[in-house]
Structure 1
Amino acid sequence: MTTSPLTAPPRSGGPRPARRPPWGLLRELDRPADVFRHLGPNWYASVMGTGITANAAATLPVHAPGLRTAATAVWALAAFLLTALSAAWAVHWTRHRAQARAHAHHPVAAYFWGAPAMALLTVGAGTLSLGQDWIGARPALVVDVVLWSAGTALGLVTAVWIPYRVMTGAGAAADAAFGGWLMPVVPPMVSAATGAALVPHVAPGQGRLTLLLGCYAMFGISLFASVVIITQVWARLVHHAIGPAAMVPTLWIVLGPLGQSVTAANLLGDVAPLALPHPYAGAARAFGFLYGVPTWGFAMMWLALAVSITLRTLRGGLPFSLTWWSFTFPVGTCVTGTGALAVHLGSTPLKDAAVALYAFLAAAWLTVGARTAAGSARGGLFRPAPAEPAR
């Protein structure tokens, strides 16, 4: 069985400095500079989870006093985290280039190369939907275009590069499939969902049509790749059991392409009449319902399975790690997908479901965020996680 996605090659040899005092910042590191040594792409999951918590609040089919202001503050936090983490990652690539390249060849960590792309896309979408309240509509649009373009380009690269690396490498063991396999192929779906908001800002004509068709094409890239991988994850769970406790949170990643695809299908259906002629425009909107409701049903079944397996694992001990951010972004996509369906269909039960899912998302974000902040302050999260034997 594969090890934790936080596992990294061991540190180089040589004398070790004296242990730092058991108090103060970064006390669990030998030296403060070690913050940058093992900074893998999986850290961008914290930006994804924070950003979706803000974005999902903006899409809720209900309105509460102060909710938008709070959501905008959370978006600002996500933007700050993206900036700070990108600066730290630049230092990581400058000072520890061999370690950075090792992440791309690691049998688990490599899949999380999809996280930076989704972090860019999530913050960009929040800039347009929330950030414009603070920075203005025009600057928000410019920022979103830049981040969406960068995130889309990087996401398309990871969607091909990571599977190619696996297919042409040593291959994966029969029990290796886990939710993290979805990380490099989900970014095009996030691009499709967030790109819908940019369609009205493109001048009518071939440019607008190209953007819309490109979003639908990326919808297909991610959808079919996700179906193949989810099937393998299901087969692994049935034939090889759950696996290490540290990997259990990654089961929640399956909700990501499901919820995001429902979101994308409905948002693209909304803007399709701006670029497509009759009858395709109407068919695109109908597709949001015909695809969205069955997929939403499967997502809720998987959510029940994920909750059950997680609770079972908790009884035996579920160590905290960055994989806990899997409890946030995937659930957030279910919030946005449920909310989109609720608005289109005028369904009160779906509105209630969107609110309930968001309540879970907010609680998960607060919990995981607090533990990440505490672990970062101590420095322990910046160390490579030890391998855990399969159960």
Structure 2
Amino acid sequence: MQTRTLPSSSSASPSAVPPRGEASLRHLPVNLFASVMGLSGLTLAWRVAHTSLGLPAVVGEAVGALALGVFLLLAAAYLTKLVRHPEVVHAEFHHPVAGSFFGTIVIAVLLLSSVVAPYSEAAARILWTVGAAATVILSFIVVSRLLKGEVDASHAVPAWLIPGVATLDIAVTGGHMPMAWAAEMNLLASAVGAMLALVLFAMIVSRLVHRDRLPAAMTPSLMILVAPFAVGFLAYTNVVGGIDRFAALLFYFALFMFAVVAPKVFRRGIAFSPAWWAIGFPIAALANAALRYAELRGSLPLWVIAIALLGLLSLAMAVLTVRTLRIAFNGKLLA
């Protein structure tokens, strides 16, 4: 069977998006919301490290403020894009690859509910409720599209996991929501997210094994393969109220997948683009899981792994932030 060349994950469709030239908001990629995911995940990891290891709390809180500011900036910019260029946003949303990145918006909202929780419980409730509702709707749309049939198997790329992981993030961020209905929402989200993650993970691995390798520009998205298991660990432990052996299995498989994909992602020859933000949240989820598991076990090797992941995540977020600012200021980000 002949395979098709995959388009860039940050574009919509060749016919819908005009040739790149002048800087314009019409070229603002939706996957930039992954930056908010990574920064928010880093905030939560530093909070755990502060509690467990006594690391400075100010680091995590400063990153959290940055995450909130970036989200507000991106939200304003993307809403402007929607108003001025609705046909481009429509094409992005319905694109078989780029459409999955709309999940980064709802995940960002869910994570920000945890970021702001220590400062405003009311704001946290509102953000989580809006994010949870939007995530369930998005998951419904994604599954409905797939069940229409005639989906090109070559489009089964790691980005497809984002809507499923988004559903799991409802339980990750909603474990302490006081509303009477929150517990049932967390169970619903865990059920939907777990099954979506497993089914989509199998489809994606099959595509990666039997079809052409991903284009170089999409290589960073391989890190998303870690997310279902790391996020699954966090969601499961929130729902059951503790870390048991099944949670440990999820953590160790996430760690195994990270060891497999990291050498494929962190190599020379892959140009920087907003697609690199795809590495942020999976590593953040794994770092949070590692810190929690190390805290439970109290094992030195586990603490070494957890601290190393936190260091890698902090470095990666710093590099991605600087490089994104660089292409934003020189006009290449929207060109």
* TM-score, length of structure 1 as denominator length: 0.79
What displacement does 1:257 show? 1.8
Q: Is 1:347 paired with 2:299?
A: yes
Q: Is 1:3 paired with 2:10?
A: no
How many residue pairs end up in the alignment? 330
1:257 to 217, 222, 228: 228
1:194 to 145, 160, 173: 173
What displacement does 1:353 show? 1.8
Contact 1:296 1:338 (C-alpha < 8 Å) held by counterparts: yes
What corresponds to 2:27 in structure 1? 38
What corresponds to 1:104 in structure 2? 93
What corresponds to 1:293 in structure 2? 248
Residues 169 and 94 from structure 1, CA distance in 2 versus in 1: closer, same or farther, beyond 3 angstroms? farther
What displacement does 1:344 show? 3.1
Q: Is 1:243 paired with 2:214?
A: yes
Instruction: Classify the secondary structure of the residue corresponding to 1:2.
Output: coil
Which whole-Å CA distance do the structure 1 matches of 2:8 and 2:159 have between them?
A: 10
Write the letter of the residue equivalent to 1:79: L
Residues 122 and 12 from structure 1, CA distance in 2 versus in 1: closer, same or farther, beyond 3 angstroms? closer
Unaligned runs of 5+ in 1: 17-27, 133-139, 271-284, 384-391
Contact 2:106 2:135 (C-alpha < 8 Å) held by counterparts: yes
What corresponds to 1:179 in structure 2? 158
* TM-score, length of structure 2 as denominator length: 0.91
Q: Is 1:145 paired with 2:100?
A: no
Which whole-Å CA distance do the structure 1 matches of 2:149 and 2:72 have between them?
A: 34
Instruction: Classify the secondary structure of the residue corresponding to 1:381.
Output: coil
Structure 1 or 2, whichever has the larger Rg, is: 1
What corresponds to 2:191 in structure 1? 220
User: Any idea what the Cα deviations from partners look like across 1:173-231, whole Å, max 9, x if unmatched?
Assistant: x3322110011121111110110122xx34xxxx1xx3223212211211111111111
What corresponds to 1:95 in structure 2? 84
Which whole-Å CA distance do the structure 1 matches of 2:258 and 2:134 have between them?
A: 29
Contact 2:35 2:277 (C-alpha < 8 Å) held by counterparts: yes
Residues 102 and 175 from structure 1, CA distance in 2 versus in 1: closer, same or farther, beyond 3 angstroms? closer
Which whole-Å CA distance do the structure 2 matches of 1:293 and 1:365 have between them?
A: 27
Write the letter of the residue equivalent to 1:226: A
What displacement does 1:232 show? 1.8
Which whole-Å CA distance do the structure 1 matches of 2:277 and 2:113 have between them?
A: 19
Instruction: Classify the secondary structure of the residue corresponding to 2:117.
Output: helix
What displacement does 1:259 show? 0.8
User: Any idea what the Cα deviations from partners look like across 1:265-311, whole Å, max 9, x if unmatched?
Assistant: 223333xxxxxxxxxxxxxx3xx322211111111111111112224
Write the letter of the residue equivalent to 1:176: H
Which whole-Å CA distance do the structure 2 matches of 1:12 and 1:125 have between them?
A: 36
What displacement does 1:169 show? 6.0
What corresponds to 1:62 in structure 2? 52
Which whole-Å CA distance do the structure 2 matches of 1:245 and 1:262 have between them?
A: 30
Task: Say what the alpha-carbon RMSD is for the aligned residues.
Answer: 2.2
Instruction: Classify the secondary structure of the residue corresponding to 2:244.
Output: helix
Q: Is 1:160 paired with 2:140?
A: yes
Matched residues, percent identical? 26
Which whole-Å CA distance do the structure 1 matches of 2:16 and 2:92 have between them?
A: 15
What displacement does 1:40 show? 3.6
Write the letter of the residue equivalent to 2:164: V
The 5 Å alignment of 1:361-380 reads 361-380=313-332
What displacement does 1:91 show? 0.8
Contact 2:113 2:128 (C-alpha < 8 Å) held by counterparts: yes
What corresponds to 1:24 in structure 2? none
What displacement does 1:341 show? 2.1
User: Any idea what the Cα deviations from partners look like across 1:324-371, whole Å, max 9, x if unmatched?
Assistant: 112211110011112222233333432322211111101111111111
Q: Is 1:120 paired with 2:97?
A: no
More displaced stretch, 339-348 vs 369-378: 339-348
Residues 252 and 12 from structure 1, CA distance in 2 versus in 1: closer, same or farther, beyond 3 angstroms? closer
Residues 294 and 344 from structure 1, CA distance in 2 versus in 1: closer, same or farther, beyond 3 angstroms? same
What displacement does 1:30 show? 2.4
Write the letter of the residue equivalent to 1:265: Y
What displacement does 1:241 show? 4.5
Contact 1:289 1:341 (C-alpha < 8 Å) held by counterparts: no
What displacement does 1:46 show? 1.1
Contact 1:155 1:185 (C-alpha < 8 Å) held by counterparts: no
Write the letter of the residue equivalent to 1:381: L
Write the letter of the residue equivalent to 2:6: T
What corresponds to 2:287 in structure 1? 335
Write the letter of the residue equivalent to 1:123: L
Contact 1:124 1:144 (C-alpha < 8 Å) held by counterparts: yes
Write the letter of the residue equivalent to 2:7: T
Contact 1:249 1:324 (C-alpha < 8 Å) held by counterparts: yes
Contact 1:188 1:221 (C-alpha < 8 Å) held by counterparts: yes
Residues 297 and 241 from structure 1, CA distance in 2 versus in 1: closer, same or farther, beyond 3 angstroms? farther
Which whole-Å CA distance do the structure 2 matches of 1:177 and 1:13 have between them?
A: 22
